[in-house]
Structure 1
Amino acid sequence: MRILVTGAAGFIGSHLSHRLTERGDEVLGFDNLNNYYDPALKQARLDRLLPVPGFSFVKGALEDRGTLERAFANFRPQRVVNLAAQAGVRYSLENPHAYIDSNIVGFTNVLEACRHGGVEHLVYASSSSVYGANRKLPFAVEDSVDHPVSLYAATKKANELMAHTYSHLFGLPTTGLRFFTVYGPWGRPDMALFLFTKNILEGRPIDVFNHGHHSRDFTYVDDIVEGVIRTLDRVPGPDPTYDPLQPNPGSSSAPYRVYNIGNHQPVQLLRYIEVLEDCLGRKAERNLLPMQPGDVPDTEADVEALRRDTGYQPSTPIETGVARFVEWYRSYHGV
């Protein structure tokens, strides 16, 4: 298939692009290589992809409608995976306009391009952040997500609503994936595992928010990519069991689905740090801090719907995943 992947120089997008080309798909990557974090890391991911047969690349931002429309017109994708977005909860407190530009305006442009380009299926990144102030664990797609606690989360919830509108009005099959804390080689420098590893190796203290008592459904990137591909290959239709008198937020009478994609094995942050210390052979000096604005204490994914519909089965324990990350980090940074 011809598959357009936005955010192809990003963490998940680069891993996904490799997997798609390995199985014989033709992939067009689209990314603006912005400086939210070190563009050199994004370029390094891209440099690994550019020689790969079946991969091509266009540099552009989602909010640049002309560039995006030309990419669609020239490549004529059959399916689209939209992973490009302004990420990060804490940064949304500092620069809210970046989230509106990329996640709202940009996503509108993606939907329009898919609609007019006759795309068979749009898979797009949502986030576990949409669960916001919810406290019932595990988080399930059947739960209400009307209480976001960051603008980032609000834009991801908005993406799901926008996608449903296009599925309903124009018959565009869409699937939203609520990613739970993704980690692994080539990961993002603003994420805890990268920050912790860097500081421990440099002999500096690590900032441990909420005194380390919160838990996260850490999900290894290879498991995430497997779930994305299984979802991409399964074009949704109207849910025959959908009841408008008792609506299920995860499906619809339109060709629309939303799934959690996580590990379903939450780990306390203090345990995560212990595993990292074991892999590095060093102890961390911990700077214990209160919870940050916009953060939530715990996340846990109910992945039953994704397992039922696609056979998704995450299989990488944190001991394995963290060790692989540390091996990559030492190699990439020469430490």
Structure 2
Amino acid sequence: MKNFQIIKALTSASAVTNLSKETDAKFIAGGTNLVDLMKKNVTAPDKLVDINTLDLKKIEFLSKKVSIGALAKNTQVAEDKVIKEKFPLLSLALAAGASQQIRNMASVGGNMLQRTRCPYFYNTDMPCNKRVPKSGCGAIGGSNRMHAVFGASESCIAVHPSDMCVALAALDATVFVEGPKGKRKIEFTDFHRLPGNTPEKDNVLDAKELITSVEIPENNFAKNSHYLKIRDRSSYAFALVSVAVGLDLKNNLINDVRLAMGGVAHKPWRLTEAEKFLKGKTVSETTFKQAADLAMKEAKGYGENNFKITLGTNAIIEALTIASSK
């Protein structure tokens, strides 16, 4: 790791200003992903802008929504009593992510900004278009068991690693940011990018923008929510496939539904067609199977990860079944 300078910001405005003055600087909060990448020489900023003193740690329950500060720790959000009561899907997804030690350090904003990555991204001796644009994708034709079955391109087939983000995609969250050009908001499903020809760009933030908060609207999914994560080992492993489900049931009828998947694409993957199909249907194994088949119909494997297509279908059915039986 090369030497670097740390600048401590006292306000959101000063954080943005400090970053804007530098040609090679990054924000740092918990550092659970950034420092890891710096140790492996995947990224090497000259300066870090420390934002830990900013007033962005609050969880506020407002009229018909909750606002979560970007510096709120993953553990803080997961264990909040009202989050667990009103937005259990988010709590379940956070509890499924990483280790307790990492959840204690990782922030909500940092979780959102972690790099979409695979082993080729970390290995500086191998080609990776995310790390070195136009160098090639080692995973295509290489080891790709963990890789994407949706939305991939010839440039990259890596998958987004976050569990929290899958839940936020399902819950229609909105991201609030601040930058040199002012403040703006971004729908969560638009925040992360598919790889296309520029896989080095993980999200739609401008280079100098700071995430300040995330808002989730009230919903009727509290009773019938579930987060299913299938992984190689029970602790500290990325998902092979994950499914976030929120159901609004009335007399066994699906009044409304939210579905998203993790471990299958460069970004959290919202299953909008399956949602439309399920609305107005009666809960049944047949209905869930039809929805799962619809959700996975465009999936494409790259050899070692072909099993994810069958696994994804079964995971959707299981997650819907568990959520509907609560």
Is TM more than 0.5 here?
no
Higher strand share: 2
Give 1 or 2: higher helix fraction.
1
- Scaled by the length of structure 1, the TM-score of the pair is 0.29
Q: Give the alignment's TM-score, normalised by structure 2.
A: 0.29
